Amino acid sequence: MQQRIPIKRSNPPNRNRLISTLLTYLPGAWIDPKNNELIALYRLRYKMAMEEKKFDTAIIFLNKILELDPMNVEAKLCKGEIYHRCLNDYGKAIEQYNKVIRLTSERDSEQIHARARAAMAEIMEMLS
Residues 32 and 30: their CA atoms lie apart, in Å, by 7
Kindly report whether the global pTM for this prediction surpasses the value 0.85: no
pLDDT band at 9 (very low <50, low <70, confident <90, very high): low
Residues 31 and 9: their CA atoms lie apart, in Å, by 34
As a whole number, mean pLDDT of residues 88-99 equals: 96
Domains and CATH numbers, the chain: 33-127 (1.25.40.10)
What are 10-43's pLDDT values in tens digits? Answer: 555 566 776 677 667 766 665 677 888 999 999 9
As a whole number, mean pLDDT of residues 48-55 equals: 97
List all residues 6 or more positions away from 80 whose beta carbon is below 8 Å from its beta carbon.
92, 93, 94, 95, 96, 97, 100, 116, 119
As a whole number, mean pLDDT of residues 51-67 equals: 97
